Structure 1
Amino acid sequence: MSQELLCKTAFRFDQPKECPDNLKSLSFDIAKNCDGLPLAIVAIGELLSTEGKDVLEWTRLCDDLSKQLKSNPQFHILYMSKQFCPAAITKGLVKENQEMTLEETAESYLTTLINKSLVQVEWSDSTGRARSCRAHDLMHEVLLSKLEELNLIQSSQANSNGGARFLCIDNNRACDLRRRNGNCQTHSIIFFNLQESHVIVIERLSLNFKLLRELDFENAPLEYIPEEIGNLWHLRYLSLRNSKEKMLPKAIGKLHNMLTLDLKGSLVVEIPDEVRGLCNLQYLVAYSVDHDSRYNIYTDQGIRINGSVIGSLESLEKLYYVDFQSQNGEHFGRELRRLKRLRKLGITKLKSDCGEALCDAISQMHHLHALRISAVKEDEVLELESLSPPPSLHRIRLHGKLMTLPGWISEMENLVEVSLHWSRISDDSLKILGDLPKLLEVWPHEGYDGAELHFEQGKFQKLKFLALRCLYKLEKLVIDRGSLPCLENLLMGPSPLLQEVPNNICNLNCLRTLVFQEMPKEFAKRIMPCEGPDYWKVEQIPNVCFRYETQGMYC
């Protein structure tokens, strides 16, 4: 079996008998050296997949394995996989090139690590993107061993000699940073479990950590950052995510090497004009989420920033979210046009009369991958007909009234995700989405106001995830045979006027999860096991769930 697994991994064959004859004996020897360890077999298989059918490389690898696996097979397999990773990974360097940004390059390296089984994907979204990863247990042991050997990371050892490049500081050790003197070689500090603000500690950072490049205060109860942070000239990454920070210091403009400023979940509502000094800034993530109220268009709040400041940040690749300045929409739009490197853009509080100015700006963003536009209120019409989005656009979220789907969406052949929240489309223009060849996710949250929704035969051929949320006027759902053939997850409700599950839902052979939220009890009774007359429609679906809200919580 280990030989079969090795061949499958190396050549991605469904049948191991397709392994070339001249490699069969070698594959047996290699698999035997792996001592039956699945991780080792997969790691070596992935390694061999890059070598193709090169007999010499297979022979060399087999010889090396037999020599190195005598002492500790787990460690050596993982170490050898590491040897075949791109040099930029093993050296900790990611460099931008003309074809890809830093983020895109890093993602390609992560894919390489995943393919070599050095990193495991904990969960990915329906589009296939890895959203959470972890190191394999054996790889974790290797990393800890190497980090200790090289003195790269010190965990809660703030009173040590300062030789580590990376420090992880908990609440009990944070104050010890004040006693550290000298030109410390530390480049990165991560604070965790902080119970106090420790502002004095931050003031001392500029004296004791002159070479600091990364500073992470995620979840820290910090209410303000002192002006002394402007003395950390080498700082490239600053995270205040989910902190209590309300206002950025003006000295932030001195950090000319800053690449990432993460303010997600903080209390910052306005960016100071001094930010124009961050000429190399690539990622500005700054929005808050209100988790205490029912989901509405105000749940995600962007930040305010002057148009002239926006225009000076021409290196930006991610801007999420920023309020569109309605008092001078044309000026704000002109400044936004200068951000030609943007990959991801989120706009909030857009008024109808500013729609054309925003559309003109987006037309200059030829590398845009993801776009979210939210109106200033739920019944504000999004005027987006003049939009000419770039063909690189993969994800689009439109939050606001549309009435009809813009015609240009039919030309977006690379779209994989479409979200229509509070769009209240009342005609059949939603059918446009059914012909998009790569579409994987559709989220119409209060996005459709019609009484009947019809998924026609041959439409939505790649769709995996569909959330029919809050379609309050929906009375009938029709799914033709041959529609939605790849659908895996379907969420429905609340739709109080919908009487029954569509008959052809049992023909969705790939459907794995069906969730009904806040649906009428009579609807639920019809598909209950044994007693429900419509149970036959859902009995082949592995997971069927009902969710109801009680006392502010979903059960």
Structure 2
Amino acid sequence: MAESSVNFLLEKLATLFEKDVHLFGGVREEAVYLRGELERMKAFLRIADTLQESDEELKVWVKQLRDISHETEDILDEYTLLQGHDHDHGRGIFGSLYRLGCCIKNAKACYRIGSELQAINSRIKEICEVHKRLRHKFRKAEQDPGSDDSAGNTWQDCRGDALLLDKSDLVGLDEPKNQLVGWLFNGSSGREVVSLAGMGGMGKTTLAKQVYDDPEVKKHFEVRAWITVNRSFKFGDLLKDMVQQLFKAIRRRIPQIVANMNDYQLKTTIKELLQNRRYLVVLDDVWHLYEWDAIKYALPSNGCGSRIMLTTRNADVASTTGVLCEGKAYNLKPLPPPESWDLFCRKAFQWNKCPSHLEEICKYILRKCEGLPLAIVAISGVLATKDKRRIDEWDMVRRSLGAEIEGNDKLKDLKKVLSLSFNDLPYYLKSCFLYLSIFPEDHLIERMRLIRLWVAEGFIEAKEGKTLEEVADDYLHELLNRSLMQVATTTPDGRVKTCRIHDLLREIIIPKSRDQNFTTIVKDQSLQWFERARRLSIHSTLQSVQPNRSVSQLRSLFMFGASENPSISKLFPSGLRLLNVLDLQNSPLEKFPVEVVDLYCLKYLSLRETKVKTVPRSIGRLQSLETLDLKHSNVNQLPVEILKLQRLRHLLVYQHEFVSYEHFHSKKGFKVMSNIGVLQALQKLCFIEVNQDGGTIIRELGKLNQLRRLGLLKLRKEDGKALCSSIEKLTNLRALSIASVEEDEIIDLQHLPSPPLLLQRLYMRGRLDALPHWIPSLPSLVRLSLKWSQLKDDPLIYLRYIPNLVQLELCQVFLGDRLCFRADGFRKLKILSMDKFDELRCIEVEMGAMASLEKLSIQRCKLLENVPSGIEHLTKLKVLEFSDMPVDLMKTIRTDGKDNWKVSHIPEVYSTYWREGGWEVYSIESMTDGEYCPLPSNPFSHELQTRWKSWK
């Protein structure tokens, strides 16, 4: 983590020099010296960050360097703040005198800053001496691993213990074991790779060992070898280990020459030994693709049905090897609750039942384990030593599980296994991962919120050809692939919507984050927190904030679940001069906090889901602001001063509004200024009302060539030509949402000469004379929503050839009585929703149409007499949902209905009805004598209840 701090500081120094800021008072000289020394120590930091936990002297050195980096960053930001402050206080003699006073004041401040940098450089010189000695120490340890100076050996790698587990420790392996054995036996005669992926502690090694030792597997493969690939493996030693195992497997003496072979000779020997034999090689704990690449050419594809089994924490390694080597990947899932409870009781109570007075505590602790076998075994082992009559001892573990993991020797292996994934991260991902500690337990983290926060914090490194947000999205997917984060929800077209972190990983990164002064989490008044806190996350109540604490170095402030009105000036009377991020989402704010406009460094401001109604004109002073999130607030108009925010990248001002089932407008946006085109950095602009001076505003939109997402409300027919002209210029557009001013107002988009090639999502709400000619030619389109189009011609004829369409929503789109899905259309479509086709009497699905369809929803088609003809051809359909449909149609598919055979292959068939502002859900089987019995609960009820809240 010190590497992250130093890199961030070096980037800031580089930016300072690039801007050619006039550095005086010794500032430039000291900054140049500091930059040079940090560059010299940078390479060693990568090693230091990994080994500091096993070497106290190294740990102290890393902490000192990190503190210096933070202090220097503060000094440079203070300097930049002084240089960039606007001191224009009018004209005339009084204005001149005021500016002169400011100049004198700033000159004094600059000399002070130069002195502070000089003091820091004195400390840097001391640290450099320690650095030289530590570097010599670790170079010596590398040359002689057995020496007293060697580091990193204080913890014994206990992953091998997974190979020695008793049968009593094995739960829930039968099904995945049978699957993997089947993959090893079946398939082609060529070499195939079977990958087993999952987060640390999931039981990958244990499962692989069960497969490896299976009697049928032993009989099937002539030669077997088990190779453990750890993070610090030496390739030559790995190859020698494999050669030795292979000679033993074929019962031949190991030649003495093997000890002196180079890597090429070892690979050649392995290949010769395996060339004509059916072999199974297990590569356990592969971290990176280069580890696989280093060995794959020694393992021949000999036409004997040989297999390689690979275990990894990195889903990208598993999927890539599977694709390149014609193999399969198995993602190991957490233990389900019944099996987790069974394993827990075996270890905690020696096969006995859990005492009733401890059951609630045990189930809470088990929920924190989230089905992770290593965690269940380790924590239940700790509890097994507790007195079962002392409920307070057990409750202590429940309340302080994080502290137990941190300090209990019996849990050190659990901590180490989970920490290995963190230690393996490149420095640029460590900051991003530690950042997750700001969110409360069980909090679903919105993907785009996290991405914008990472960008505002400066964690994202610029890459040519990509926006910072796109790079941040790559970071997020890398954390997901490494099993350090989990996908919680996805959008219908497959994008990650929310994610989460495993509870035990969170318990591990919170103390790590606290120790490194990265984030301070405040939940109660008893908790001590640093004077120099960098990020402060307040959970539940503002009463936990200690009054009059100095937070002059605070960079980010978050509030989660606060019930009191947060007054920043009262909470932090000394001010938040250097604050970059202020996230007050979902707090009970009623007025815009006026003190915010003095936070000149602020890059991210979220007042989402507050009751704020107006934004002051002084917001124009926030020259660094990149994200302004007012979504679901009561703001519907912004002051013209918003145009001064030239760095603004994301402007979100809208709220969902569900008035009734039949209501046309579902969103309220805001009125925008006619010269909005000056905000050249904008990437997301949602949702603007264009019915006032629409022509001018729409033409201005064409200047925003960085836009990725655009949302327009209240569009008029006469604005269509200007909008097409602007869309043609928005070459980076990924998502476009358009709603006409009234339900019968025509949207005229026929004037676009060529389709926006990168457009992925298109939402159109309003009447169409004809389907815009360019829509079927959108090569990147994955989601299309057309509502209230009232077309006279069947739109399916034109839409069926959109090559990558995954989700299609059609509401009151067609006035005819028959729709036909042709055999050659909608090849990739997975989700289809059809709503309010008032004249529709017949739907036909030809064989071969919609071959990938998984969910079909039909709503409010009052004249539809039968289920779609040919629905039986949709073999991948998992969910069929009817909403507010005629009861007579429903009777035809109940268990004794004439068309039941058509839907019998579909796992989930539901009928729903809108009743008094909510959905009632029924299964088809529950209908008897023409009446429905509501289901008490089912997995789709929450989705149905919330559907109209997100109605586009």
The one-letter code of the counterpart of 1:52 is W
Name the structure 1 match of 2:666.
299
- Secondary structure of the residue aligned to 2:515 is helix
Q: Does 1:273 pair with 2:273?
A: no
1:349–1:376 Cα contact (<8 Å) kept: yes
The correspondence for 2:192, drawn from 2, 18, 29, is 18
> 1:450–1:251: structure 2 CA closer, same or farther, 3 Å change rule?
same
The one-letter code of the counterpart of 2:521 is Q
Q: Does 1:385 pair with 2:559?
A: no
Name the structure 2 match of 1:473.
839
Q: Does 1:213 pair with 2:453?
A: no
Deviations 1:459-502 (A, max 9, x none): 10000010011222211000001000000111101101001112
* Structure 2: distance between partners of 1:215 and 1:533: 61
Q: Does 1:90 pair with 2:459?
A: no
Name the structure 2 match of 1:36.
none
* Structure 2: distance between partners of 1:287 and 1:227: 21
Q: Which structure 1 residue ranges, 5 or more long, are not aligned?
A: 34-40, 63-69
* Structure 1: distance between partners of 2:510 and 2:188: 37
The correspondence for 1:239, drawn from 606, 622, 631, is 606
Q: How does 1:29-40 map to 2 (within 5 A)?
A: none
Identity of aligned residues (%): 32
- Secondary structure of the residue aligned to 2:605 is strand
2:859–2:885 Cα contact (<8 Å) kept: yes
Name the structure 2 match of 1:222.
589
1:206–1:228 Cα contact (<8 Å) kept: no
CA offset at residue 253 of structure 1? 0.9
- Structure in which a larger fraction of residues adopt strand: 1
- Secondary structure of the residue aligned to 1:54 is helix
The one-letter code of the counterpart of 1:413 is P
Name the structure 2 match of 1:166.
535
Q: How does 1:427-438 map to 2 (within 5 A)?
A: 427-438=793-804
CA offset at residue 136 of structure 1? 2.4
The correspondence for 1:155, drawn from 489, 509, 522, is 522
The one-letter code of the counterpart of 1:188 is S
> 1:91–1:381: structure 2 CA closer, same or farther, 3 Å change rule?
same
The correspondence for 2:295, drawn from 48, 52, 55, is 55
Deviations 1:54-90 (A, max 9, x none): 13999xx99xxxxxxx985544344333344343212
Name the structure 2 match of 1:81.
421
* Structure 1: distance between partners of 2:545 and 2:506: 28
* Structure 2: distance between partners of 1:42 and 1:196: 55
CA offset at residue 448 of structure 1? 2.1
> 1:172–1:412: structure 2 CA closer, same or farther, 3 Å change rule?
closer
> 1:48–1:194: structure 2 CA closer, same or farther, 3 Å change rule?
closer
CA offset at residue 547 of structure 1? 0.5
- Secondary structure of the residue aligned to 2:589 is coil
CA-based RMSD of the aligned residues comes to 3.3
* Structure 2: distance between partners of 1:411 and 1:181: 60
> 1:132–1:85: structure 2 CA closer, same or farther, 3 Å change rule?
same
* Structure 2: distance between partners of 1:382 and 1:15: 59
* Structure 2: distance between partners of 1:195 and 1:455: 53
Name the structure 2 match of 1:487.
853
Q: How does 1:94-493 map to 2 (within 5 A)?
A: 94-151=460-517, 152-156=519-523, 160-170=529-539, 172-173=541-542, 176=545, 179-198=547-566, 200-202=567-569, 207-294=574-661, 296-308=663-675, 310-324=676-690, 326-387=691-752, 388-493=754-859
Deviations 1:335-377 (A, max 9, x none): 2111000011001110011111111111111111110111011
Q: Does 1:532 pair with 2:897?
A: yes
Return the index of the structure with the highest Cα Rg: 2
1:4–1:16 Cα contact (<8 Å) kept: no
The one-letter code of the counterpart of 1:94 is I
Deviations 1:403-454 (A, max 9, x none): 4211111221111110001111220233221111111000012222221110
CA offset at residue 126 of structure 1? 3.3
> 1:71–1:154: structure 2 CA closer, same or farther, 3 Å change rule?
closer
Name the structure 1 match of 2:262.
none
* Structure 2: distance between partners of 1:194 and 1:292: 29
CA offset at residue 143 of structure 1? 1.6
* Structure 1: distance between partners of 2:595 and 2:293: 59
CA offset at residue 180 of structure 1? 2.5
* Structure 2: distance between partners of 1:314 and 1:192: 33
CA offset at residue 299 of structure 1? 1.5
1:202–1:229 Cα contact (<8 Å) kept: no
CA offset at residue 141 of structure 1? 2.6
- Secondary structure of the residue aligned to 1:132 is strand
Q: How does 1:497-536 map to 2 (within 5 A)?
A: 497-529=863-895, 531-536=896-901
Name the structure 2 match of 1:67.
none
* Structure 1: distance between partners of 2:847 and 2:790: 27
TM-score normalised to structure 2 length: 0.52
CA offset at residue 536 of structure 1? 0.8
- Secondary structure of the residue aligned to 2:475 is helix
> 1:452–1:44: structure 2 CA closer, same or farther, 3 Å change rule?
farther
The one-letter code of the counterpart of 1:331 is T
Q: Which structure 2 residue ranges, 5 or more long, are not aligned?
A: 1-172, 195-220, 234-281, 299-309, 312-409, 433-458, 921-952
The correspondence for 1:541, drawn from 900, 906, 918, is 906
* Structure 2: distance between partners of 1:42 and 1:121: 27
> 1:433–1:362: structure 2 CA closer, same or farther, 3 Å change rule?
same
TM-score normalised to structure 1 length: 0.87
CA offset at residue 241 of structure 1? 0.8
* Structure 2: distance between partners of 1:238 and 1:14: 56
